[in-house]
């Protein structure tokens, strides 16, 4: 995306439309290019659990250039310095993990905004501002163009969700089912009845507040069911786990065909 060009994905999400998304967790420019060419709307570059750094992030975004996919990042933490560096790399969507209160959510939003509404450092030299080429247009438009959402992953976040949703410039909520389940005492089991009940409560509150509702899914059937429940964005494929699943399937087909134990 160039200088002052509008973030079409943010516009679509804020209009209540459905957006396709995939994880980039291999810290690879090759898989970023493959998935961008496949036609995803958003590619969520994982910097919380994946091994990438800022240099890898930039190479992944460069590999997406020319395709419709808009680069989003799951930040490693709610840290304004890390968020600043991620945004300076040229990201247009931000997922901040493990946000447990309205105060923390407000800090995440401020980290993505220039003063006076935020605390992001102003510079025309980074990649996001095109290295000084048309930097003014980027600096003027970034505040409105960057999509910001925080993750609900703990009972504390659920408890303070009403206050979190009051933050005007917070665009959306991402439900992290595995972390939420684990923090509720159901280790990695988001299918537990009590967890599903809490997730339904979160969904209802987010949709009622008019915020974008997002989450993750392991397959398209589950993702489609979530879209039909009102989700705007579901991350339903990964450049690592999906490859692993397909690889296991192919190996098992080979063993079955030739009766290999």
pLDDT one-digit tens code per residue, 182-197: 999 999 999 999 999 9
d(CA 41, CA 30): 18
Residue 222 lies in a domain: yes
Residue 106 lies in a domain: yes
Q: What pLDDT, in 10s, does the model give residues 191-220?
A: 999 999 999 999 999 999 999 999 999 999
The range of the structural domain enclosing residue 226 comes to 8-257
* Number of domains present in the structure of the chain: 1
Residue 1 lies in a domain: no
Residue 2 lies in a domain: no
Residue 238 neighbours by CB distance under 10 Å? 22
Q: What is the CATH number of the domain that holds 76?
A: 3.20.20.60
Number of residues assigned to the chain: 261
pTM of the predicted model as reported, rounded to 2 decimal places = 0.96
Q: Which residues are catalytic?
A: 49
Backbone phi, psi, residue 55, to 5°: -60, -45
Of all helices (H) and strands (E), which one includes residue 26?
A: none
């Amino acid at each position: 995306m160039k200088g002052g060009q509008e973030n079409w994905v943010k516009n679509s999400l804020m209009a209540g439309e459905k957006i396709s998304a995939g994880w980039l967790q291999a810290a690879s420019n090759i898989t970023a290019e493959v998935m961008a060419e496949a036609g995803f709307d958003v590619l969520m570059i994982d910097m919380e659990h994946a091994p990438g750094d800022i240099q890898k992030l930039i190479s992944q975004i460069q590999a997406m250039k020319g395709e419709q996919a808009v680069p989003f990042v799951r930040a490693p933490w709610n840290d304004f310095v890390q968020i600043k560096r991620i945004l300076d790399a040229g990201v247009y969507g931000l997922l901040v993990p493990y946000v447990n209160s309205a105060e923390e959510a407000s800090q995440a939003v401020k980290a993505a905004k220039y003063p006076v509404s935020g605390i992001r450092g102003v510079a025309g030299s980074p990649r996001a501002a095109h290295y000084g080429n048309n930097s003014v247009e980027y600096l003027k438009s970034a505040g409105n163009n960057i999509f910001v959402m925080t993750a609900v992953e703990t009972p504390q976040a659920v408890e303070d969700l009403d206050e979190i949703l009051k933050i005007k410039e917070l665009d959306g909520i991402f439900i992290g089912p595995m972390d939420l389940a684990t923090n509720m005492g159901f280790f990695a089991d988001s299918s537990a009845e009590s967890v599903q009940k809490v997730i339904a409560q979160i969904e209802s509150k987010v949709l009622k507040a008019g915020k974008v509702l997002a989450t993750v899914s392991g397959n398209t059937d589950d993702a489609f069911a979530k879209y039909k429940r009102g989700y705007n964005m579901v991350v339903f494929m990964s450049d690592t786990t999906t490859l692993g699943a397909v690889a296991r399937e192919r190996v098992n087909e080979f063993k079955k065909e030739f009766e290999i134990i």
